[in-house]
Every structure is written in structure tokens, then in C-alpha cells.
Amino acid sequence: MRRMKNFGPFSPRIHGILHGADYNPDQWLDRPDILEQDIQLMHQSGMHVMSIGIFSWAKLEPAEGQYDFLWLDMILDRLYAEGISVILATPSAALPAWMSQAYPEVLRMDENRVRHLHGGRQNHCFTSPVYREKVRTIDTLLAQRYGRHPAVIAWHVSNEFEGYGCHCPLCQEAFRSFLKARYHDDLEALNHAWWTSFWSHTYRDWSEIESPSPIGEHEMHGLTLDWHRFVSAQTLDFLREECRALRAVALHLPLTTNFHDFVQLERGLDYWKLAEELDVISWDDYPYWHADKHSDAEEAARRAFIHDMNRSFKQGKPFLLMESSPSATNWQPVAKLRRPGMHALASIQAVAHGADTVQYFQWRKSLGGSEKFHGAVVDHNCDDPVHVADTRVFREVTALGRDLDRLLDIVGTSVAPEVAIIYDWENAWILADTQGPRQEGLDYFDTCVRHYKAFWDRGVAVGVINADQDLSRYKLVIAPMLYMVRPGFGAKIEAYVQAGGHFVTTYWSGIADETDLCFTTGRPGPLRRVLGIWSEEIDVLYDSDIHHVGGYEARLFCDLIHTESAETVLTYDDDFYAGRPALTCNRYGAGEAWYIAFRSYDTFLSDFYDARIRAYGIEQALDVDLPEGVTATIRADEEHCFCFLQNFTDRKQSLRLKAPMQDLLTGKQVQTLEMDPYSYHILS
Ligand code: GLA
Ligand code: ZN
């Protein structure tokens, strides 16, 4: 088995997996008894860490230039005295009302060019010099006052940067500067890249360029792509300014920002770019369990995919599960209570994929405000001391904490996958924007997860990367629907396969370049030679249409290809293209490159990848056939090895190991495992 060197803890002051929550004592400053109760309950539940100050600006700076840090001094001192660590946030994700009133430029303008009123959060302009200065000032003050506070172990910069962007005049100017730099001051190069001769959209001056808008330009995909790039770059620039302010004073503290849980993935920021600035990755995981439209196992695979992506951002370095709900949310369409066991299982899943913390939003439910019904460790009943900790959620959290405390040596261990799936943000943006043969149902993210699940089902570790990453460490690289192929990627894949790598891609790949100009050398463009095929045209189907390929169903996309050097493995059974290739394999150098020309929702991917796993000798976490809905993952370093078995079904499952292993939580040797619904075992 491949093992990685231990990455060490993200902060030298921690030992073991941290268990904690977002804590908002600033909502309860008039209730010292509640603050006291918090401390007691934190001890009772065995929590080690609290994230504080995420939305505290109005308390920290109640009026411009007037600061109040006394309450925070008091809280940090108390937590430190009680042995509880703090991840201290900068408050830039929600600005105080006085600022919006005094400086309207700090408020965001939307794509319809409407300036938003004060309210909500993530509501600021990320270009505004006034806003940046205010953020710099408060961050510097926090760093000066708390950078050396013994309770503080890390910075939590802002909160969930997301990709909506601001369209105010300041941002328009910043966008133009970004474009000038990107196109080396050459407006003709931009005109060509965006193909502006179409519909007479040629620009004669940089000042004519405006960000995309539903009431203006929004179908010029070179523009929309560059706008997405700009929003990511400008957000990174904003993040950097915060990081600089903190590091200038408190360089020793690791720095993170909590990434979103990808619900708006296709519009979102390119987190690969932001990741470079951070010392440690963290993200907020809000699964949709017990849903009516997907199974818990499907949701678990989707979550596992995102965990693996977060671990991959820093080449395997463990990440923090910064937020998760210990019970329900208040924003999912129907937020069923988590069934017994599910909370602990979902938390262990994060650890199994590389998390070194399990943290919640939130410690205590607020009495008012938009999230008063969002799950929390402690419910509303603070004045009922008999029952405040006597709840199912509190008991499950406490029990999970005891399991986490047994995993001391897991800190810093990681996963060394032999398989990588490419989920590329720029590709996601353009797939969402471009107007091709099917306007809906492209489902890039879900398609990647469907490929991923074949590995999840078999307990095979996967890295989730973008197209810019090094591929040499993988035995198998899969790039579903890689519509955009950026310069260099074709040659990289050729070299990878030539040297013995295995590559799989699908229909709707190799169509256009990094500005969405179509390739002129025949689809799939730069991937044509390594795949040994030529795609002449692509047929798309209605949702209800079912075609067939060698006993499997073909749905939605049927690429009509010709083999060049590739061998045909399966052919279409239906329609005017019956008999034409649907699955091909091209031996190229010492490796091979596969082209899956159709989409399928049945067992095709599972069977296909099962054969690849065997053929390429790809390792599974356990050498057993896992029951449906059960997965296994390994975290290891040169000394330790932890194997997590997770049952994401509401049924009991049993399996027999090839040889006895030690159950870390009970200390017993086990060979036959009886798994309860929604349960886990940790073996070593
Ligand atoms: C996000 C935010 C939190 C909270 C939760 C609710 O992750 O970061 O402040 O709003 O959602 O699920
Ligand atoms: Zn702006």
C-alpha cells in the first residue's frame, strides 16, 4: 500500500482530532448564566475548540472607530482557562449598518446594476477601497490583540467566500484592468478570443467592456468565462489582503477560510486558486440525508467526492471540517431529522477522507434571526437545566466525541490515491454557460460523482483534482465531459499515457479552448491523438429516450465517433448509428486511453471501472466485496493505518474480513462484522 509522510497537526498546539463548533457568545452577553452554562456543556460534551467572531463586527466596532474588545477578552480568557481552543474569525463576511450608511460604495451591486441595500451577509463589494481599508483595520486590531493569545490556534478568514461577484463601477474598472493584464493590453487579442465579430460586438476601446448582465451581454462565452476568472481573482485578492494584515502581526498562526459546500458549484469560485493562499483547507459540509430523490449512499458518495477534493487542494494535507449540522438545517427544502447514528457516521466520514476536525454550525441555537431553527449542539431550552443536555443530539455528539478522542494518532495521516477524477472549475463554468445541443441535463458535477461512485462502492481511494495538477502519481485519470481543454493539457495527457498511464474521458470533451473558441483540428481537439478517435457529430436524446450499447442503456448523449488508431469495444445498438463505436480503447505508448461516447445511468460505469481496477492492479481499502451502500477508506502514514468501514444504509449489513483485524473502538479482534444501520467501524 502507498503511504504518505505524516503532515503533522495543523497547529502545533493540538493533539488529536478537534471537536467543536461555531460559537456566538456575542448574542448572549446579557446572560452571564448562559455563558456559564456553555462552558459546563462544552465540558460535558467533550468539545475542544470553538470558532468565534465570524459575524461579530457590530459588536467589535459598534460605531466607526469605536472598538469594544472587552467581551472578547473575557470569552477568550475563560475558554483558555477551561482548556478550550479558539479559531478566531475576521468579521468581513457581514458589515455593520453604520458602514453601509456612511459609505454606500461598500454595498454590492448585482448583475442588473442594482445597488443592494444593507442587509443579509456576503453583501459587500470586494473591490471598494473603503471596505478593504475597514477590513484591514479591524483585522490588524484583532491580530494585535489576540495573535498571541494562548487560546487562539488559527485564523478563520471571513466566511464562505462565494462567486456572485459585484458589478459596481469600481468592479467594472477592476475587471477592465484584469482584462488588460490578461490580454497584454491588446484589445485585438481580446476581440479575437471572445470572437466579438459575431453580432457586431467588436470593442474599439476598453471602456466599452461591461461585466455580463441579463440586461446586456451574457451570451458571449469568452466574456462570461473571463468574468468568472475575474471574480475568483478579485476574491483571492481580497482574501490576500486579509491574510497579509493577519500575517503581518501574527505570522505563526495558521490561516484558513471555510469553503462553501458547493451547492452553487457551477457559479462558484475556483477554490484551487484560493487554496494556494491558505495554510490549511477547511470546508462546510451540509449533506442532504434521507431525501426523497436520492439514496443516502448516493449522497454519501457525493459528500465523499467533495471531501476528497478538499483533501486534494493541498496534495493530501488533512483539512478541517469547519461546519456541519449536528441535526437538521433550516434551509434544505425538507430537512428531516438525522436518523440515529447518521450524525456520527457523517462526521466519521469526513475524518475517514482526511478531516482532522469535526466542527458544527452551531454550538447553540439563537433565539431569533434567520437561523434560529438551524440544528445545533444545544437547543433553545437553556432555561430548562434538567433537559438542556438531555437530548438525542447532545448525547450523539457526546458519544461521537469519545470515539474521536480515541483517534489520537490519526492526526496528519492521509490518503494516497491511485485514481484521480478531474473536476475542473473553468470547465464547470463554461459547461453551465455555453449553448450546445442540450441546454439542460449537462450535470457536470453529478456526472463526475457518478464516475466516482464506482470507486466509492469498491473502497478505492480517489483524488479529485483540476486539469492543471500533476498526474504522474496516478494509475488511472478520469476526465468526464472535459469540454474545455486548456493549452498544454493535450500534451500532458499524451506524455502521461505514453509513460504507462491510463486515461478515460467521455462525450462532450475536447470541444473548445480556454476562451471557448472551438478547436479546428477535429474533435476531440488536443485529445484526438491519444484517444485515437474522431468525433463527427453528437446526438442528444430526450430524458425519456433510451438507446442501448451492448446491453447497457445510453441516455442523453450519444457521440458519433470514428476510430482512427483506437479499437472499438462496444457499439451502439439503435437508430441510424447502430453498429458505430460507443466505447473505444487506444493503446498509446505503454498506456491506454478510453473514450466513453455515451452517457449511462445503469451499471455500465460500475462494470467498466470494475474491470479497470482489476486490470491496472488498483488497490482497494479492504480485500472484500462490500455490501451495497457500505464503503471503506484508509488513512495512513509510515507508522499507522486506519481503516474506516461505513454503512450508509438503514439496514444491518454484515461482512467477513479475509483475516482478523483490530477494532480500534472496542479494542477487540474482529473478523465477521455485523454493522448496524448508519454505523461505522474503525479497524487497524
Ligand atoms: C453556512 C454558514 C453558516 C451558517 C450555515 C447554515 O455554512 O457559513 O454561517 O449559515 O451555513 O447551514
Ligand atoms: Zn463592487
The CATH number of residue 654's host domain is 2.60.40.1180
In a domain, 12, yes or no: no
Give the pLDDT score at 312: 98
Are 557 and 637 in the same domain? no
What pLDDT does 206 receive? 98
Ligand number, closest to the Cα atom of 169: 2
CA of 309 to the centre of ligand 2 (A): 30
pLDDT in tens, 56-90: 999 999 999 999 999 999 999 999 999 999 999 99
451 plus 547 within the same structural domain: yes
Answer yes or no: do 492 and 582 share one domain.
Answer: yes
Give 171 Cα–ligand 2 centroid separation in angstroms: 4
**pLDDT at position 92:** 98
The gap between the terminal CA atoms of the chain, to the nearest Å, is 14
Q: Quote the pLDDT of residue 659.
A: 95
Q: Are residues 501 and 641 in the same domain?
A: no
* Domain annotation covers residue 638: yes
The answer to whether residue 243 is domain-embedded is no
Boundary residue ending a domain (616, 638, 659): 616
Range of the domain at 663: 630-683
Q: Say which CATH number the domain at 505 has.
A: 3.40.50.880
Are the C-beta atoms of residues 490 and 526 closer than 8 Å to each other?
Answer: yes
Catalytic choice (299, 323, 418, 514): 323
CB count in 10 Å sphere of residue 614: 9
What total number of domains does the chain contain?
2
Q: pLDDT value at position 264? A: 53
Q: What confidence score (pLDDT) does residue 439 get? A: 85
CA distance linking residue 17 with residue 670, whole number of Å = 25
| Residue 585 and residue 658 in one domain | no
List the grid coordinates of 330: 433550516
Is 339 within a domain?
A: no
Pocket of ligand 1 (CB under 6 A): 159-160, 284, 286, 323, 329, 361, 371, 374
Within its chain, how far is the Cα of 539 from the centroid?
32
Asked if residue 658 and residue 549 are part of one domain, the reply reads no
Active site residue 160: yes
> Whose CA is closest to atom 12 on ligand 1?
329
Residue ending a domain, choose from 560, 586, 616: 616
Residue 179 Cα to ligand 2 midpoint, Å, equals 16
**Which residue of 123, 156, 160, 364 sits with most ligand 1 atoms within 8 Å of its CB, as the best mutation to test the pocket?**
160
Catalytic hit among 61, 160, 426, 514 = 160
Residue 528 and residue 602 in one domain:
yes
Q: What is the full DSSP assignment across 238-304?
A: HHHHHHHHHHHHHTTS-EE-EEP-STTGGGS--HHHHHTT-SS-EEE-----S-SSS-HHHHHHHHH
- For residue 263, the model assigns a pLDDT of 54
- Domain boundary, last residue among 616, 644, 673: 616
Q: What is the pLDDT of residue 356?
A: 98
On whether both 560 and 634 belong to a single domain, the answer is: no
User: Hey, which of 24, 51, 87, 323 would you mutate to test ligand 1's pocket, going by the most ligand atoms within 8 Å of its Cβ?
Assistant: 323
Strand 552-563 to strand 319-323: parallel, antiparallel, or no bridges (unpaired)?
A: unpaired
Low-confidence residues of the chain: pLDDT under 50: none
- Are 526 and 569 within one domain? yes
Give the CA-trace dihedral at 152, 158, 162, 164, to 10 degrees: 180
Instruction: Name the residue at shortest CA distance from atom 9 of ligand 1.
Output: 361
> Minimal CA–CA distance to 260: which of 247, 274, 244?
274
